[in-house]
Structures are given as structure tokens and as C-alpha cells.
Amino acid sequence: MIDRNSAARKHFVAGRLEGICQNLELTENQYKTAEKRYGAVGELLASSEDTLLSSAKIYPQGSMSLGTSVKPMKGNEYDVDLVCYVPYVSAELPPGSLKKLIGNRLRSDGRYEGMLEEKPRCWRLTYANEFHLDITPSIRNPACFQGGELVPDKLHDEWKASNPKGYQEWFRKKADLQPSFSLFEKAESREFAASVEPFPDQEPLFKGILRRCVQICKRHRDEHFLDELSEVAPISIIITTLAANSYAYCVTNHVYDTEFDILVDVVRYMPNFIQKSQGPDGIQYSIMNETTEGENFAEKWNKDSRLAEAFSRWQRKAAIDLENLPEVTGMDNLEKSMNACFGENVVAATFEKEICKISAARSSGLLSVVPAIGLTTRSSANSVPVRLNTFYGR
């Protein structure tokens, strides 16, 4: 039988994690602004008199396209990764030549001249206190039967296999998998929620468990490596890929009591999807892009042993931190624990919203307390109403 108090605490923590994720995302206005910005870049490239660029298509990749973006720890500028796909260019053209062509076109517009910065793989447009638009050239990969593309290698002037759109579809299919819950425990939870729903009302993981888990992991990583060498922190594509594979395994092979239990298991099982083999220079790691041939997201791990070690250290810490959250008693202590995991600013903003909801419920006479669970907006046999504070003791 489900432990009602434990389930209530897990639902409550899941609600706070949902609030944190919401505070980490672009607002609707920011998203629309970013969409407008990259649309303008696409129009500029497509209006070029150069026949190669006139066929260029701009589309988002990475966290923006997956719905897993998080606010950076320092500064206010979100990273928005874009692909500039030029379909009629063959791999015989050096990637540096295509990249230069794109850069020259961007410089030709006065709006972008002072904002443009060249990176090893892309062009970056910086909108102060808003976004970085990173524009990566790509061409068709005739050797990939899944619609893959070729993008510039960061270190060498050569094309490298990738498949941003294929990866988006692969991730979406994983995210669409639905977890299984025990019918008995689900009925118990439903009956329980009707009588002692924890306050604030549980907010559903409306973007889905997988996307929220990726965001939680990325934010925890950012906080964990804040005082360490940032170059050893696990890159987002590795976290996203391992979390997606772990989620698919968990929901296919296990039955759960709560959504929070799935979050914990996803983080716990992530290392199981790292392929290892013995090479002449030691262990070789592979985290492959299943949508194209030859893209190993863990390629750098095989050149720098610190990277695999840093991932392993972070993953163990994230699993322990997440698992311990429902055991914390008291809102103040929970806030402190979440501060250590996700950073004070975003946690403070989340809890401030809850304080406002509590005040509103108190004023409306809807607030009560259930022993061992906490504040609730619904009455039950063992709940105690919270009296309106009139500052006169009545």
C-alpha cells in the first residue's frame, strides 16, 4: 500500500521542481522575440543574391527545439542554437568557405555588424541581456538515410555527421512514452488527493516528466560546477541523451507510485546507457546519436579523462540530492536544500510565488494544516483550519 504521507511529500516536492523549471524557461514574450530574431536572420540569408544562400533555411536546434532550455547561472542571455541549412552545397566545399559566406552576408546588414562574433563552429549574434543566437552552417549528408546533415568540425576544417531534426523527433518519441502506475496505488492516490491535497495545489508536470528531468539535471549541473572548472561539466546533449534513454527504460520496465519516483530513477539509471570498451589508451566511451552514423557525443571523453570522471561524480550527487528532498522537513529547510541544488535566485522566486498563494488562501479561509504533511487548501478529518491573521489575536 502506498505511504500516504510519503506520497504527499513527493507530490509537494515535484510541484516545487515544476515551479523551478517554469522560472528557468523563456517567458512567452522572450520566446516570441527569439522567434522573431531568428526569422529575421533567415529572411536576410534567403534574400541574398548568392544562389547558394538564397536557398538557406534557418531552424532551431538544441534545448530550444526540445523544450529543455534553462536560464544561465550568470547573466541573462539564453543560448539559442540555430542551424543554417544550405541544401545545394556539396561536401566538396570546405565548411570554412560556407561559414565565411554566411558571415559576410550577416555583416552586410547594419543591424548585425556590431553584434557578430565568430566562434569555432558557428556565428554568434549577441542581443545584450536577451539571447545569444548561435548559427551553425549545415549541408545535406547523402550518406545518411535518416535525413541527416553535415556540420563543421570544431577543430578541423571538415564536415561531420549530425542530424538535428532527426534527434528532435527521436527525443519527442521518448518523451511521449507514458509511465505505468499501480492501479491500486493510483486509486489510493486519487482518494487521498481528494481529501488532503498539499498546498499549493499540485501543478502537473505539463511539459512531461522527461523534459522536466532534463531541465532539473541541467540546472543541478550548472550549480554543481559553479565553483569548478566549467570545461569539465557534462555537456547538455550528453545529459539529454542519457536522460531520454533512461526514461524510456524506466517507464517501459517499471511501475511507479508517483511521478517524483520516476524522476529519481531516470537520474539513477543514466550511466547504464554509456557504452564502454577497452582501447589501447584505456576505456573508450560512446554515447551515440542514434539518428545518424558516426556522431559520438562522448568523443571528448576519450581525449580527456576528467570529463567522464566529472560526469560520474555529478550524476551520483544529483541522484542523492534529488532522492533526499522529500525527506526534508519544514519549508525553510526544503528551501535551503533546493538552494544548494539549483541556486538561490530561482528557488527564492519559486517559493515567493508559493508564499503569495498561501497568503491568498489564508485570506479566503481555505488554508488548513494536516499533521506530517503540511498546508492544504482542502479540509479532511484530521486537518486543522488556519485562522485568519487579523493582527489582533482573533
* Spatial distance between the Cα atoms of 85 and 57, rounded to a whole number of angstroms: 5
Of 128, 88, 93, 123, residue with least CA distance to 109: 123
Read off the pLDDT of residues 278-331 as tens digits, 9 standing for 90 and up: 988 889 999 999 999 999 999 999 999 999 999 999 999 999 999 999 999 888
Long-range contacts from 104-113, C-beta under 8 angstroms, 24+ separation:
105/44, 105/45, 105/48, 105/50, 105/53, 106/41, 106/44, 106/45, 106/135, 109/44, 111/40, 112/41, 112/44
Q: Indicate the pairing of strand 131-140 with strand 78-85.
A: parallel
d(CA 135, CA 149) in angstroms, rounded, equals 15
Residues counted in the chain: 394
| CATH code that applies to domain 56-161 | 3.30.460
202: region left, alpha or beta (phi > 0 left; psi from -120 to 50 alpha): beta
Q: Cβ distance 346 to 219 under 8 Å?
A: yes
Query: Which cell numbers hold the place of 209?
Result: 516528466
% of the chain residues with pLDDT over 70: 81
* Model pLDDT for residues 77-106, shown as the tens digit of each residue: 788 899 999 998 999 999 889 999 999 999
233-262: pLDDT as tens digits = 999 999 999 999 999 999 999 999 999 999
pTM of the model: 0.85
Task: Report the pLDDT value the prediction gives residue 201, as an integer from 0 to 100.
Answer: 38
Residue 368 · residue 358 · CB < 8 Å: no
* Pairing, β 282-286 against β 275-279: antiparallel
Name residues whose C-beta falls within 8 Å of residue 76's C-beta, 6 or more positions apart in sequence. Answer: 129, 130
Omega of the bond leading into 179 within 30 degrees of 0 (cis):
no
Using pLDDT thresholds of 50, 70 and 90, give the confidence band for residue 355.
low
Residue 20 has pLDDT above 50, yes or no: yes
